[in-house]
Amino acid sequence: MREPICGNLLPSMFAKNRQLFATGVFLLDGVLIFASWVAAYWLRFYALGIPSPLGVPSIQLYLWFGAVLTPVSLLILRSLHIYRSTRTARLSQELFSLTQGIVAVTALAGLGSYLSRGELSRSVLFLFAGTGSVALCGTHAVGRTILRAMRRNRRNLRHVLIVGTGDLAADLERKMASEPDYGFAVEGMIAVDAAEIGQTIGSSRVIGTVTELPELVERTGAELVYLALNRSEYEAELEALERLNDSTAAVRLVPDLARTFTLSASVEDFEGTPIILVTESPGQGWNAVLKRAFDFTFSLIGLIFLSPLLLLLAVIVKADSPGPAVYAQERVGLNGRRFRMYKFRTMRADAEGKGAAGWTRPGDPRRTRVGSMLRRLSFDELPQLWNVLVGHMSLVGPRPERPVFVQEFRASIPRYMLRHHVKAGITGWAQVNGLRGDTPLDRRIEYDLYYIQHWSMGFDVKILFLTLLRVFRDQSAH
C-alpha cells in the first residue's frame, strides 16, 4: 500500500514547493524593483554628481511613486508569463521579457510624470530602467543557474511518463534524457500494444499500456504525462485522455507533425478551439513592421549614397552594348505575387530572343564585357534597392525566380512554394553559402527554408555582413 501513498503525495508536495518558489521569486522581484527605484534617485541626486539647478526633490515623493510603481511592475511582468514554470524556455527569452517589462514600466512612469506636471526627473527614469533591468536579469540568471545545477545533481526533478513508442515519443524521450538541466526524470514509456512491454526506447523501458495509465501514475509518482502518439493512434489518445481525467498528473499533448513541414508553427484560440498554425509566415505583426522599417531605411540610404555609382554604371552599360542600361524582368515574390525586378543589363539585348529562358553558365557567350564584371561583383543587383524601397522585395530573403521556373519547380520539388511565405531578397542565406546561379536547386531550397524557420533581425544583419565579405568576391557568380 505504500506505493499508492507516495504516488499521491509526491506530485502535491513538488507542486507546493514550486508554488512557494514562484511566490518567492515574485516577492524578490518586487523588492528589487522598489530598491532599483530608490537607487536611481540616490544615483541621480547624490552619487553621480549631476547638477540639480532646482535643488534636490523630496525623497517622500519618490517613495510614494515607488510604492505605486512596484505592484504595477509586477502585474506587467506577470502578464509576460515571467512567473510561469517553463523549464524548457530559453534564458535569453526570459531576460528579454524582463527588460521589456521594465521598459514598459518606465514608459508608464514617464507618462504619469508628464500628466503630473513633470515632477519626476527624466534621469531617474533612465537610471531606473538600467538598474531595474540589470537587477532583475541578474537575479533570474543566477536563479536559473542554481536550479539547473540542482537538476544536474538529480534534485528538483519532475517525474514523467511518455505515452507512445513511435518516433515522436522516442524523440521526446531522447531530448528529456539528454538535457539534465531541464530536470525531467522519465519513469517509463507507455505502449498501445501490450506486446511492447519490456522493450527499451532510448534509455527508458516500456512499463505498461494505455489501459493501465491511472495505476502507473500512482505507482511511479508521475507529475506529468506526455501524450506523444502518432496520428493513426488517435483512438488510444482519446482513451488515455479519458483515463487521465481522474489522475493527479498534468497532461501534455505533443502533436504529431512529423509528416508536415512546420513553418513558424504556433497555436491560436478560435472561440475556445485550439488551432495549430502549421505554416505561418514569420513576417507577421511587429516582425513585419520592424523588417519593413529596416528595409525602407537602409534601401533609401543605399540609393542616396550609391546614386553616383549607379549613374556611372548605367552610363557604362549603355555605352558598352546596344540596349537599355536597366531592364525589368517578371519575378514571383511574397504569396506568389508577381512583380517587375530591376537589374543592370549584363547580356546582349537579344539574349533570349531565340530560345527558352535559362540560367547563365560559366563563359556564357550572351554576356557583355561589362556584364561579366558586374556579375562577378554582384553590382548588377544594385537597382533592386528600388524594389526594396517600394516594398516588392526585402534586403534579405530567398532570391525570386521567374514564373516559368516557379511552375516547373513547384511540380518537382517538395515544399518549394514555402519560400514564398516571405518577401524575396537581394541576398539570402543560400547566396552567402555559395549557392548562386546554376547550382543544385534542392540545396538552395534547404537553405531558404532554414532562413525562414530561423528568421530574426539579427540573422538578417548577419547575412548582410556575410554578403559584403563573400558575395562580391564569389567565384560562383557568372
Final residue of a domain: which of 106, 134, 152? 152
Asked if residue 278 is part of any domain, the answer here is: no
Q: Report the interhelical angle of 2-42 vs 122-152 (nearest 10°).
A: 150
Most confident of 3-12, 109-118, 177-186: 177-186
pLDDT at 186: 92
Write the CB contacts of 182 (distance below 8 Å, at least 6 apart in sequence). 87, 88, 151, 176
Residues 194 and 233 reside in one and the same domain: yes
Looking at 228-373, which runs of residues are DSSP E strands? 250-253, 266-270, 273-277, 326-332, 338-344
How would you classify residue 158: left for phi > 0, otherwise alpha for psi between -120 and 50, otherwise beta? Answer: beta
Q: Are residues 162 and 141 in the same domain?
A: no
Residues 86 and 234 in one domain: no
Could you give the 3-state DSSP secondary structure of residue 282? Answer: coil
Residue at 424 is within a domain: yes
| Helix (H/G/I), strand (E/B), else coil: 351 | coil
CATH at residue 243: 3.40.50.720
More confident residue, 4 or 466: 466
Distances in Å between the Cα of 239 and the Cα atoms of 203, 228, 235, 256, 461 are 26, 13, 6, 17, 49
Give how many domains the chain has, as a whole number: 3
Question: Is residue 7 over pLDDT 50?
Answer: no
In this structure, are 35 and 129 located in the same domain?
yes
Question: Contact, 349 vs 322, CB < 8 A?
Answer: yes
pLDDT band at 132 (very low <50, low <70, confident <90, very high): very high
Residue 53 lies in a domain: yes
pLDDT attached to residue 178: 85
**Residues 398, 252 share a domain:** no
- Pair 436, 294 in one domain: yes
Average pLDDT over residues 7-34: 71
Could you tell me if residue 388 is inside a domain? yes
| Across 116-130, average pLDDT | 85
Asked whether residue 163 falls in the same domain as residue 201, the answer is yes
Interstrand relation of 204-209 and 200-201 (parallel, antiparallel or unpaired): antiparallel
- Picking from 110, 126, 152, the residue at the C-terminal end of a domain is 152
Question: Does residue 478 form part of some domain?
Answer: no
- Asked if residue 225 and residue 103 are part of one domain, the reply reads no
> Domain of 170?
158-259
Is the pLDDT assigned to residue 424 strictly greater than 50?
yes
On whether both 292 and 417 belong to a single domain, the answer is yes
Q: Given a cut of 60, is residue 47 above it in pLDDT? A: yes
Mean confidence (pLDDT) of the chain: 83
Angle subtended at Cα 457 by Cα 455 and Cα 459, rounded to the nearest 5 degrees: 60
Mean pLDDT of the region 149-160: 84
275 domain residue, yes or no: no
The sign of the CA dihedral 232, 238, 239, 245 is positive
